[in-house]
């Protein structure tokens, strides 16, 4: 078992005929993900290395049985691509696209959320369940299968910590990059809930960063609802107030959203917080020994 993507995933890529969508879609297929279709309006009837391309997501669902959509279209088209996937009956949407305006994502969020669709991103690396499926841009070769769930706002830190774990003989059940924008489809809490219900996940690593209060909310959720050990790393201890660091959502406003405040909130409920990615991996190794 895995969360969000697995061997039952039937993937349609919005933008498969573009250079980025093609490159990563075919990489996902090479990993073992069941890539069943692409969607590009006006290019229906074509194919990309044997993968049929349709004009609409509805056609990809009815003719190819797609149940998961990966969005790889420019920011000005991405909200409509999400709406189209949801309206076609897709239950999992993973939006890799960045630079979607926050006000657009607010409308997307309020439309998608009541429908019970799992939306990951935007501005995210995607989801990997090692040995089962990879949907996104995560370099699967640095991960191995195991029992550690990993959820992160950062892409590169996700890769580093996963590699640190693999070097120590540990693996991941699923890796979820929720995205670094101010408004994303799934929060830490949404993913923690899924890991709690996943029998293959024994430990969870939460990778946060400065800005917002999602890590503080996650800390309280862990205290109230999680039975599995949780470890964490927070990026941005040296970030100056008021300056965006990497992600649009990684900005400290006044005294809130600092790395120190997040670390304090997590440690207050018993979550061990590493000061470096290496230290986080070592904390998990010690717990799993």
Which residues are tagged catalytic?
A: 247
- The whole-angstrom separation of Cα 192 and Cα 225 is 9
Ordered alpha helix ranges (H), 40-133: 57-64, 78-87, 102-112
What spatial distance separates the first Cα and last Cα of the chain, rounded to whole Å? 23
Residues with Cβ within 8 Å of 249's Cβ and at least 6 positions away in sequence, in order, are 153, 180, 181, 182, 184, 211, 212
d(CA 162, CA 156): 10
By CB neighbour count within 10 A (0-12 exposed, 13-18 middle, 19+ buried), where does 145 fall? middle
């Amino acid at each position: 078992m895995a969360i969000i993507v697995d061997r039952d995933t039937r993937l349609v890529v919005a933008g498969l005929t573009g250079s980025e969508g093609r490159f990563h879609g075919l990489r996902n297929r090479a990993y073992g993900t069941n890539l069943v279709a692409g969607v590009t309006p006006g290019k229906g009837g074509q194919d990309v290395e044997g993968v049929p391309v349709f004009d609409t997501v509805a056609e990809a669902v009815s003719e190819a049985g797609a149940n998961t959509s990966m969005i790889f279209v420019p920011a000005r088209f991405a909200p409509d691509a999400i709406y189209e996937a949801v309206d076609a009956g897709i239950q999992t949407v993973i939006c890799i696209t960045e630079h979607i305006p926050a006000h657009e994502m607010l409308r997307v969020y309020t439309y998608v959320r009541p429908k019970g669709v799992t939306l990951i991103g935007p501005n995210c690396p995607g989801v990997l369940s090692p040995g089962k499926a990879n949907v996104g841009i995560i370099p699967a070769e640095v991960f191995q299968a195991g029992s550690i769930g990993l959820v992160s706002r950062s892409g590169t830190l996700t890769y580093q910590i996963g590699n640190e774990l693999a070097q120590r003989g540990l693996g991941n059940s699923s890796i979820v990059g929720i995205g670094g924008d101010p408004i994303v489809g799934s929060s830490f809490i949404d993913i923690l809930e899924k890991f709690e219900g996943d029998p293959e996940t024994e430990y969870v690593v939460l990778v946060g960063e400065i800005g917002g209060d999602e890590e503080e909310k996650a800390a309280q959720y862990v205290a109230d609802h999680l039975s599995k050990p949780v470890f964490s790393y927070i990026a941005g201890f040296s970030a100056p107030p008021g300056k965006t660091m990497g992600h649009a959502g990684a900005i400290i406003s006044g005294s809130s959203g600092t790395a120190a405040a997040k670390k304090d909130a997590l440690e207050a409920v018993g979550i061990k917080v590493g000061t470096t990615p290496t230290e986080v991996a070592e904390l998990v190794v010690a717990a799993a020994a």
